[in-house]
């Protein structure tokens, strides 16, 4: 685990260091994840969204007039609820909660509109699993299955710039879709998590400031 974290930091610095010579903006962001698992589903069950936190830092490097390369080292809570349909119950019962906490590094491209108020954003997010848990009837413990140490997800979203003066305030919404299975276990009733991927919606707000003044 320690070696993986060190490699993650080295890769991050190797990406960021050459870019800091350009017009760069730094800041912080916070938001909510509404995440769930998708893929194989146990019999008489379905996956539902679970709320989690998403906090981190922004590093936006201007590549062209309306194009930015964005790095966002962050802490991200992913997970899901599992609802089972029980005999005699009209509504599915939320019986299990899975939680996976990640250190992630989204690398994104942001394209602004001509008036700089609106933008689209897309990219990829490698993430390192920090810890995990399963909660059943208020009893919390580590997930018994061996989960993948790394996750990889695509991001697609849009945002708006809200003028507040010198800092830049952004509010955005993103859809994320995992590309890797968390486990390779088949759906045979013996495994608590079968072959599934992460998926979700992120709502976040960020404040950024330029490291140097624009020439304009």
Q: What is the structure's pLDDT at 216?
A: 46
Task: Work out the average pLDDT over 109-120.
Answer: 91
Is the separation of the CB atoms in 128 and 102 below 8 Å? yes
What does the longest C-alpha to C-alpha distance in the chain come to?
69
Side-chain half-sphere exposure of 174, counting CA atoms within 13 A: 29
116 phi and psi angles, rounded to 5 deg = 70, 5
Return the minimum-mean-pLDDT range out of 52-61, 66-75, 116-125, 182-191.
182-191
Cα–Cα distance, 50 to 36 (Å, whole number): 6
Q: Does this model's pTM top 0.95?
A: no
Is the separation of the CB atoms in 194 and 183 below 8 Å? yes
65-91 pLDDT tens trace: 899 999 999 999 999 998 877 655 555
Q: What is the structure's pLDDT at 3?
A: 56
How confident is the prediction for the chain on average, in pLDDT?
84
Side-chain half-sphere exposure of 84, counting CA atoms within 13 A: 9
Name the residue with higher pLDDT: 144 or 14. 144
Name the residue with higher pLDDT: 171 or 90. 171
Show the domains of the chain with their CATH numbers: 2-210 (2.40.160.20)
């Amino acid at each position: 685990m320690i070696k993986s974290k060190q490699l993650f930091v080295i890769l991050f610095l190797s990406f960021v260091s050459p870019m800091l010579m350009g017009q760069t903006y730094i800041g912080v962001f916070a938001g909510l994840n509404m995440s769930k698992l998708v893929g194989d589903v146990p019999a008489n069950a379905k996956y539902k969204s679970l709320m989690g936190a998403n906090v981190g830092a922004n590093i936006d490097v201007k590549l062209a007039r309306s194009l930015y390369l964005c790095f966002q080292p962050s802490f991200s809570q992913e997970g899901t609820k599992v609802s089972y349909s029980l005999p005699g119950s009209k509504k599915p019962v939320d019986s299990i909660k899975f939680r996976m906490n990640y250190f992630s590094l989204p690398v994104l491209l942001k394209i602004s509109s001509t008036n700089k108020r609106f933008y689209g954003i897309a990219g990829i997010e490698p993430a390192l699993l920090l810890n995990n848990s399963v909660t059943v009837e208020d009893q919390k413990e580590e997930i018994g299955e061996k989960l993948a140490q790394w996750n990889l997800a695509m991001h697609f979203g849009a945002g708006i710039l809200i003028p507040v003066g010198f800092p830049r305030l952004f509010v955005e919404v993103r859809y994320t879709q995992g590309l890797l299975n968390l486990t390779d276990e088949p759906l045979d009733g013996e495994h608590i998590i079968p072959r599934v991927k992460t998926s979700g919606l992120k709502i976040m707000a960020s404040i950024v400031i330029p490291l140097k003044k624009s020439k304009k």
